[in-house]
Amino acid sequence: MSTVSVAAPPSPRKASPKPGTAHAPAPTVTDPALVRRAVKAAALGNAMEWFDFGVYSYLAVTLGKVFFPSGSPTAQLLSTFGAFAAAFLVRPLGGLVFGPLGDRVGRQKVLALTMIMMAAGTFAIGVIPSYAAIGVGAPILLLAARLVQGFSTGGEYAGASTFIAEYAPDRRRGFLGSWLEFGTLAGYIGGAGLVTLMTALLSSEDLLSWGWRLPFLIAGPMGIIGLYLRMRLEETPAFAAEVEKAESERPRVPLREMVAGQWRALLLCVGLVLVFNVTDYMLLSYMPSYLTSELGYDATHGLAVVLGVMALMMIVQPFAGALTDRVGRRPVIAAGCVGFLVLSVPALLLIRDGGLLAVAAGMGALGLLLVCFTAAMPSALPALFPTRVRYGSLSIGFNVSVSLFGGTTPLVVTALIGATGDMMMPAYYMMAAAVIGGFAVWRMAESAGRPLPGSAPSLEPAGTHPEKA
């Protein structure tokens, strides 16, 4: 391992260790080069996952025409988002498989496996024949590919955030963790930029007949690169220490210990992930289709606005992550919840105004509020659970919340607008999520600058620049 042990300082909380226990575990000093490699490998996998989700969302109208029988545009859009949401139904199953496996055999091995499956599922979508060619087999194959993606991503985010959190030094965990969501935004920008370029350069006929396949086929080489980076990594210091303590093969952790033994942390995780993902999917996945199908906005200009908002978020993201290390995770997450509660309606009214500047202002405001979550969650969520069950418990809590509330957001909001005719439903939905997230952040403990539960303190080498990635 590329870590070294140093003498443990006296505990600031106790004058002596508990009776019957050994000395406190010696801190580890991180290897900056190894930390950077870990962050890049984890962020690339997240970028590939969200490249696919972004492309799927931005091509939702086109995919509805390709894979579902001709009918009303709303019915086709609902069918497309239905297949999108179906992938989230199997995410908890993927979490139940990959999470405990990551706590047993290691984070690195499981993350390599999820990378292979994600790339295969995305690539498969690009080669599925259309409904006109093979009939009902087309939507069935699309659903199968989406289920493979959903199953694999059930172990992706929890594993990637755990991987970075366990490598990062305590005082920079927020900054380094924020690069995971930087990868998310990079994937979205890659997907949105490619779709925007294709929409501008290709005719509607070419986009419908073959152009839509190109973004999905890119997943093949991306997956190979990501797999190479992840296979070159060592296991995290925290997991290696757990294995060393066991002095043999890691014992199987019972599922009840991951759930019943962590019920309070799991509830907090579900609430935090709910507000994070409802707002994330609302802005980055649903809004492009909302602008086009519900407001009649020009598709190319609508995608360009979303692309600009994501670029703004990428610029702010590392600075917001560093801020969470200075002021704490709780104040930053709380600010995002209050912001969505107060500003969702005004922002959506600006978006509905229809003018380019008004749409950009409304989307930009929501994007900056979303950064409060994207910057803080990758470091806040792993800190809810001890090392022994961190991957498994976080996978379960994260994926249950995403499946029930996040991934279903486009489908639910589209259905609510269709049922009520109220175009302000996206704002009301985000406000409700902000209330739940605010309660969760009120009940959570601050984790900034502190060791992860069950892990030794993690220190930086002397002389490390505090703002160098």
pLDDT digits (tens, 9 = 90+) for 198-216: 888 888 888 888 888 988 8
**Residues pairing with 5 in the sheet:** 28
Reference 1, options 270, 359, 244; nearest CA is: 244
321 vs 462, higher pLDDT: 321
Most confident of the following: 58-62, 68-72, 136-140, 431-435? 431-435
Taken in order 294, 297, 303, 304, the sign of the CA dihedral is negative
Question: What CATH number is associated with residue 205?
Answer: 1.20.1250.20
Report yes or no: 412 and 277 within 8 Å, Cβ to Cβ.
no
Query: The pTM is what?
Result: 0.84
pLDDT digits (tens, 9 = 90+) for 107-117: 888 988 988 88
Q: State the pairing for strand pair 458-459/28-29.
A: parallel
Tokens 């997240």 correspond to 46
Residue 155 main-chain phi, psi, to 5 deg = -110, 5
Residue 248 pLDDT exceeds 70: no
Measure CA 135 to chain center: 34
Find the range with the poorest average confidence among 51-60, 153-162, 227-236. 51-60
Residue 19 pLDDT exceeds 60: no
Segments forming the whole domain that contains residue 41: 30-453
Furthest CA-CA distance within the chain: 75
Most confident of the following: 33-37, 239-243, 347-351, 406-410? 347-351
pLDDT class for 77, splitting at 50, 70, 90? low
Q: Is residue 12 part of a domain?
A: no
pLDDT value, residue 315: 95
pLDDT value, residue 450: 92
Q: Is residue 373 part of a domain?
A: yes
Dihedral in degrees, nearest 10, Cα atoms 82, 314, 438, 152: 40
**Mean pLDDT in residue range 394-402:** 91
Half-sphere exposure of 39 (CA within 13 A, CB side): 26
Q: Is residue 465 part of a domain?
A: no
Residue 28 pLDDT exceeds 90: no
Residue 50 pLDDT exceeds 80: no
Q: Is residue 16 part of a domain?
A: no
**Mean pLDDT in residue range 36-48:** 86
Q: Is residue 74 part of a domain?
A: yes
pLDDT value, residue 135: 82
Q: Is residue 25 part of a domain?
A: no
**Do you know the residue count of the chain?**
469
Residue 269 pLDDT exceeds 90: yes
pLDDT value, residue 75: 66
CA distances from 10 to 137, 146, 191, 448 (A): 66, 52, 50, 20
pLDDT digits (tens, 9 = 90+) for 287-321: 877 777 777 777 667 677 888 898 999 999 999 99
Q: Is residue 160 part of a domain?
A: yes
pLDDT value, residue 251: 55
Q: Is residue 90 part of a domain?
A: yes
Tokens 């917001």 correspond to 320
HEC profile of the chain: CCCEECCCCCCCCCCCCCCCCCCCCCCEECCHHHHHHHHHHHHHHHHHHHHHHHHHHHCHHHHHHHHCCCCCHHHHHHHHHHHHHHHHHCHHHHHHHHHHHHHHHCHHHHHHHHHHHHHHHHHHHCCCCCHHHHCCHHHHHHHHHHHHHHHHHCCHHHHHHHHHHHHCCHHHHHHHHHHHHHHHHHHHHHHHHHHHHHHHHCCHHHHHHHHCHHHHHCHHHHHHHHHHHHHCCCCCHHHHHHHHHHCCCCCCCCHHHHHHHHHHHHHHHHHHHHHHHHHHHHHHHHHHHHHHHHCCCCHHHHHHHHHHHHHHHHHHHHHHHHHHHHHCHHHHHHHHHHHHHHHHHHHHHHHHHCCHHHHHHHHHHHHHHHHHHHHHHHHHCHHHCCHHHHHHHHHHHHHHHHHHHHCCHHHHHHHHHHHHCCCCHHHHHHHHHHHHHHHHHHHCCCCCCCCCCCCCCEECCCCCCCCCC
pLDDT value, residue 442: 95
261 vs 346, higher pLDDT: 346
Q: How many domains does the chain have?
A: 1
pLDDT value, residue 14: 37
How far is it, in rounded angstroms, from Cα 387 to Cα 402? 22
Residue 258 pLDDT exceeds 80: no
pLDDT value, residue 305: 81
pLDDT value, residue 369: 97
Reference 121, options 150, 82, 92, 95; nearest CA is: 150
**Mean pLDDT in residue range 171-183:** 94
Measure CA 273 to chain center: 9
Most confident of the following: 127-136, 394-403, 408-417? 394-403
pLDDT digits (tens, 9 = 90+) for 311-356: 999 999 999 999 999 999 999 999 999 999 999 999 999 988 777 7
Residue 132 pLDDT exceeds 90: no
382 vs 355, higher pLDDT: 382
Residue 320 main-chain phi, psi, to 5 deg = -65, -40
